């Protein structure tokens, strides 16, 4: 019997034993740096001359690994393997067998939890707490989706008449292209991959070019857990070559993507084109980010409000699609909240996350650093710089937590996704005005409301249009199975990862009716 699902507990690093275990894991990972990693197609390790060089964003001279780079020819080879594996074997495999692979993989990751977290510190630049949460979420996806598959494997109940026997079942789609992001380099990569696999599809996994090594490490876990060759094929490579080729491919049945609005809308558009020889409409499962708002009412715990804004804005250097990048504060309490946000922000520091003495680590690469610093310059024209506004890219890519005040709700700083440690504050005349400003964006991913007014909470429940809405807490840190995650509008296709209907998006319904 499978025990009921509970989310993986987080590690308390104030406990000396846990700190020592993490330090040991970091030493183990550091001894493993600089290795070469091949592609995996049909279980075959393939080495290419061209490499993706994965570096530590906190120390650009430290190479995490050299990863073989796929091209169109190898992408085609992977497609043929995945297509054949699906048709001849995997689509007919026992759902319980597939779920068991997830449960075994979860047990392997759990035993090596600190080792994976240490890798996230190095390859992703994550502080210990953020890395531990990422690893825990990866375990959660494995455990939760395994149980969800066991729930839906026999289909759904439908009615039958005395003259017939009717059944409704879910069947897999085919070959899925999974394009995973660099920010939750373990959790989202693992979750999107196993959701596609456990539902009976075969997978072409193209991890983010900034963080491909952790995806290879996960492939090793799945192989150890009993995953047959050819079911998941590891093909890191450039989106402009490998990504476009496979999105367009007539044998691609669905695309699962997490990343920017720009790339997500492009994939959505390309996948809609019916190619020669294609006999289905491709499905897209897309999550594209947000411009997330915390609303602070005049009847609220102002310390909670300030803490929520700072934690949500600057956790993992604001590199979360759920990060608070806008705070809309009732004018009666604006100055008090603003002053406390600035105080709390000035207590934070950004530095190498290896030693766990900094709240923030680096941003992911030079492109991200340049983009964020450019937005800070824009912010100086659009609002009052209250904290931060500086960065240092001499050894790694560090941007100090930055707060702008009195920003117009229509300013670029308040409308465009920055994906960095920058938050803008603005005033609202009343609660109606605050909700109006909160909805004044093309995104709709997360939001939070801080208030002790029950009427206002119910109004927000009805009118604040986001996929994940939180009351009297920050707007980040959704937990698999507890707060299914995904957004509206330009935040994506409302594919609620870690939710009860997520797996079904990787399947199609089939009705059979037998006359008696």
- The band of 127, judged by pLDDT with boundaries at 50, 70 and 90, is very high
pLDDT at position 248 is 98
455-462, Cβ contacts within 8 angstroms, sequence gap of 24 or more? 456/297, 456/299, 456/431, 459/431, 459/435, 460/295, 460/435
- End-to-end CA separation in angstroms for the chain: 35
Smallest CA-to-CA distance from 177 within 253, 86, 229, 260 is with 253
Whether residue 489 contacts residue 444, with contact meaning beta carbons closer than 8 Å, is answered with yes
Largest CA distance in the chain: 77
Report the share of the chain in percent with pLDDT over 90. 99
Average pLDDT of the chain to the nearest whole number = 98
Q: Indicate if 275 and 319 belong to the same structural domain.
A: no
pLDDT at position 298 is 98
Q: Tell me how far apart the alpha carbons of residues 482 and 477 are, in angstroms, rounded to a whole number.
A: 11
| pLDDT score of 133 more than 90 | yes
Domain tally for the chain?
2
pLDDT at position 394 is 97
| pLDDT score of 391 more than 90 | yes
| DSSP conformational letter for 243 | I
Enumerate the active-site residues. Answer: 287, 321
Alpha-carbon torsion (68, 184, 258, 390), positive or negative: negative
Q: Indicate if 408 and 455 belong to the same structural domain.
A: yes
| pLDDT score of 1 more than 90 | no
Q: Indicate if 146 and 163 belong to the same structural domain.
A: yes
Q: Tell me how far apart the alpha carbons of residues 175 and 330 are, in angstroms, rounded to a whole number.
A: 50
Whether residue 143 contacts residue 223, with contact meaning beta carbons closer than 8 Å, is answered with no
* CATH assignment at residue 378: 3.40.309.10
**Opening angle at CA 451, ends 447 and 456, nearest 5:** 85
Whether residue 449 contacts residue 464, with contact meaning beta carbons closer than 8 Å, is answered with yes
| pLDDT score of 330 more than 90 | yes
- The band of 374, judged by pLDDT with boundaries at 50, 70 and 90, is very high
Is 488 domain-assigned? Answer: no
For residues 383-409, average pLDDT: 98
Q: Indicate if 238 and 262 belong to the same structural domain.
A: yes
Is 3 domain-assigned? Answer: no
| pLDDT score of 313 more than 90 | yes
Go through 314-341 and write b for each residue having 16 or more CB atoms within 10 A of its CB, e for each that does not.
Answer: bbbbbbbbbbbbbbbbbeebbeebbebb
- Write the CB contacts of 172 (distance below 8 Å, at least 6 apart in sequence): 86, 90, 91, 199, 200, 201, 506, 507, 508
Helix (H, G, I), strand (E, B), or coil: what is residue 471?
Answer: strand
Q: Indicate if 305 and 249 belong to the same structural domain.
A: no
Q: Indicate if 262 and 322 belong to the same structural domain.
A: no
Smallest CA-to-CA distance from 51 within 37, 32, 34 is with 37
Q: Indicate if 174 and 314 belong to the same structural domain.
A: no
| DSSP conformational letter for 439 | T
Q: Tell me how far apart the alpha carbons of residues 78 and 196 are, in angstroms, rounded to a whole number.
A: 16
pLDDT at position 292 is 98
Q: Indicate if 372 and 350 belong to the same structural domain.
A: yes
Q: Indicate if 265 and 380 belong to the same structural domain.
A: no
Question: Where in the sequence is the domain holding 108, given as residue range(s)?
Answer: 17-288+494-515
| pLDDT score of 341 more than 90 | yes
pLDDT at position 491 is 98
Alpha-carbon torsion (283, 287, 288, 293), positive or negative: positive
Is 386 domain-assigned? Answer: yes
Is 479 domain-assigned? Answer: no
Is 7 domain-assigned? Answer: no
For the stretch 226-284, pLDDT in tens is: 999 999 999 999 998 999 999 999 999 999 999 999 999 999 999 999 999 999 999 99
Is 356 domain-assigned? Answer: yes
Report the share of the chain in percent with pLDDT over 70. 100
Q: Indicate if 160 and 102 belong to the same structural domain.
A: yes
| pLDDT score of 387 more than 90 | yes
* CATH assignment at residue 198: 3.40.605.10
Is 67 domain-assigned? Answer: yes
Whether residue 403 contacts residue 352, with contact meaning beta carbons closer than 8 Å, is answered with no
- What is the DSSP pairing of strand 59-68 with strand 51-56? antiparallel
Is 151 domain-assigned? Answer: yes
Helix (H, G, I), strand (E, B), or coil: what is residue 294?
Answer: strand
pTM for the full model? 0.98
Q: Indicate if 155 and 114 belong to the same structural domain.
A: yes
Q: Indicate if 204 and 314 belong to the same structural domain.
A: no
């Amino acid at each position: 019997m499978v025990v009921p699902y509970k989310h993986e507990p987080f590690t308390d690093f104030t406990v000396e034993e846990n700190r020592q275990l993490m330090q040991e894991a970091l030493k183990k990972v550091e001894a493993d740096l600089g290795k070469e990693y091949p592609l995996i197609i049909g279980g075959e390790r393939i080495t290419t001359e061209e490499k993706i060089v994965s570096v530590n964003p906190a120390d650009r001279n430290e190479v995490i690994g050299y990863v073989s780079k796929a091209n169109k020819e190898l992408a085609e080879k992977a497609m043929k393997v995945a297509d054949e594996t699906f048709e001849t074997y995997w689509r007919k495999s026992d759902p319980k067998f597939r779920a068991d692979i997830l449960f075994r993989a979860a047990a392997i990751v759990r035993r090596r939890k600190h080792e994976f977290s240490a890798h996230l510190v190095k390859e992703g630049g994550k502080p210990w707490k953020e890395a531990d949460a990422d690893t825990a979420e990866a375990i959660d996806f494995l455990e939760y989706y395994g149980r969800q598959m066991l729930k839906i494997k026999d289909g759904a109940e439908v009615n039958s008449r005395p003259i017939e026997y009717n059944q409704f079942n879910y069947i897999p789609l085919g070959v899925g292209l999974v394009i995973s992001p660099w920010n939750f380099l373990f959790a989202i990569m693992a979750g999107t991959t196993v959701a596609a696999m456990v539902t009976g599809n075969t997978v072409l996994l193209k991890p983010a070019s900034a963080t491909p090594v952790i995806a290879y490490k996960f492939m090793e876990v799945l192989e150890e857990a009993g995953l047959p060759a050819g079911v998941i094929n590891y093909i890191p490579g450039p989106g402009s070559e490998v990504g476009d080729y496979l999105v367009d491919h007539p044998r691609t049945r669905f695309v699962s993507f997490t990343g920017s609005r720009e790339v997500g809308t492009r994939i959505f558009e390309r996948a809609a084109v019916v190619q020669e020889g294609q006999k289905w409409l491709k499905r897209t499962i897309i999550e594209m980010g947000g411009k997330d708002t915390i609303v602070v009412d005049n009847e609220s715990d102002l310390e909670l409000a300030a803490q929520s804004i700072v934690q949500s804005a600057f956790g993992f250097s604001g590199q979360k699609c759920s990060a608070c990048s806008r705070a809309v504060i009732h004018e009666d309490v604006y100055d008090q909240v603003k002053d406390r946000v600035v105080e709390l922000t000035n207590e934070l520091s950004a530095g190498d996350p290896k030693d766990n003495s900094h709240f923030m680590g680096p941003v992911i690469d030079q492109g991200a650093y340049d983009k964020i610093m450019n937005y800070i310059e824009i912010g100086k024209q659009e609002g009052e710089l209250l904290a931060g506004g500086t960065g240092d890219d001499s050894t790694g890519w560090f941007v100090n937590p930055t707060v702008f005040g009195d920003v117009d709700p229509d300013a670029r700083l308040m409308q465009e996704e920055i994906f960095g440690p920058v938050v803008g504050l603005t005033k609202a005349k009343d609660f109606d005005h605050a909700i109006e400003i909160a909805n004044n964006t093309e995104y709709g991913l997360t939001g939070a409301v801080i208030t002790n007014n029950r009427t206002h909470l119910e109004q927000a429940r009805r009118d604040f249009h986001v996929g994940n809405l939180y009351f009297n807490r920050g707007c980040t840190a959704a937990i698999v199975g507890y707060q299914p995650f995904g957004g509206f509008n330009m935040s994506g296709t409302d594919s609620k990862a870690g939710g009860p209907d997520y797996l079904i998006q990787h399947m199609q319904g089939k009705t059979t009716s037998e006359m008696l």
